[in-house]
Amino acid sequence: MSHFKGVFFDLHGTILLSDDVDHAWETWVHAFHDEMVERGAVVGFDDFKVYLGNLFESDAPEFDEPGFSLFMRRVKELGHRLGAEIPSVEIRPLVDRLVRLWHRGMYLDPETVEVLGRLRERYVVGLITNWEHTPRIFELVDELGMHGLFDSIVVSDDVGCAKPNPRIFSIALEKHGLIASEAVYVGDMDVDVQGALGAGLKPVLIKRLGSNGTWDPYSDKKDCDYDPSVVSVIRRLSELPELLDNL
């Protein structure tokens, strides 16, 4: 029987899938560009695409505004930089449209409900996700019928730190009185593996090939190999319960 007490999951690419991330990105960038140009931004599509490619890796905007998520702040700052002064009252509806569009066509891994239901009989089950607009995550939980699958949900935007920062994992563990060595983190990218290792959790990499594209196409570590005694690898969610029994 496993000595672990908690199993935590990444969201995008781990339980929420897309059959064509590149197409989804291209569609989203076009829609975002159209929205900004309509509001007065002076920027061509190719240049705008470069802006967005760097947007989420850049430091958080220095200004703060009550009720604004990190992505709302980024959008307002980006508009200002490109000549589109978007009134604060219009930022939330714009951001809501954009994040819903990003999730269009994405779907819950068909094994999610059964596997997480089985795990919750024996473990604390939580979600730890890097996402810059917290309201959308809880909206998505409603849309996809994920109520009752998680004992806790930790969103980077809400807690002010993101993977691979160990603090986001500590926050999740503290909610359940767990220590790092009692928990597993399941993710699909190198940032998930490195974050879990840095925080002291056991990393499990779900390395799908095919339905979700080549593993970690946006990381320069996409071809790295891990020590199997340190990082466990599964190909589908349904392999996880048996893996946990044998760790």
pLDDT in tens, 191-204: 999 999 999 999 99
Residue scoring higher pLDDT (190 or 244): 244
Q: Is the predicted pLDDT of residue 218 greater than 70, yes or no?
A: no
CATH topology of domain 6-18+107-246: Rossmann fold (3.40.50)
Q: Is the predicted pLDDT of residue 211 greater than 70, yes or no?
A: no
Residue scoring higher pLDDT (31 or 207): 31
* pLDDT for the residue numbered 19: 82
Average pLDDT of span 160-173 = 97
* pLDDT for the residue numbered 131: 97
Both tokens of residue 125? Answer: 């089950």
**Alpha carbon 191 to its chain's center:** 10
Residue 22: pLDDT band (50, 70, 90) is confident
Q: How far apart are CA 171 and CA 173, in angstroms?
A: 6
* pLDDT for the residue numbered 213: 42
Both tokens of residue 69? Answer: 């998520």
Q: Is the predicted pLDDT of residue 221 greater than 60, yes or no?
A: no
Q: Is the predicted pLDDT of residue 212 greater than 60, yes or no?
A: no
Both tokens of residue 118? Answer: 């089985």
Structural domain boundaries in the chain: 6-18+107-246, 21-103
Average pLDDT of span 143-157 = 94
pLDDT in tens, 69-124: 999 999 999 999 999 999 999 999 999 999 999 999 899 999 999 999 999 999 99
Percent of the chain with pLDDT over 70: 93
Nearest to 144 by CA among 17, 7, 8: 17
Q: Is the predicted pLDDT of residue 241 greater than 70, yes or no?
A: yes
The answer to whether the CB of 42 falls within 8 A of the CB of 82 is: yes
* pLDDT for the residue numbered 14: 94
The answer to whether the CB of 202 falls within 8 A of the CB of 185 is: yes
Output the CA–CA distances (angstroms, integers) from residue 177 to 106, 124, 161, 199, in the order listed.
Answer: 33, 10, 20, 15
Least-confidence region, from 15-29, 104-118, 136-150: 15-29
Residue 43: pLDDT band (50, 70, 90) is very high
* pLDDT for the residue numbered 210: 54
Residue 6: pLDDT band (50, 70, 90) is very high
The answer to whether the CB of 184 falls within 8 A of the CB of 178 is: no
Output the CA–CA distances (angstroms, integers) from residue 153 to 30, 46, 130, in the order listed.
Answer: 31, 36, 11
**Alpha carbon 102 to its chain's center:** 12
Average pLDDT of span 158-184 = 97
Nearest to 109 by CA among 237, 214, 206, 203: 237
pTM assigned to the model: 0.92
Q: Is the predicted pLDDT of residue 182 greater than 50, yes or no?
A: yes
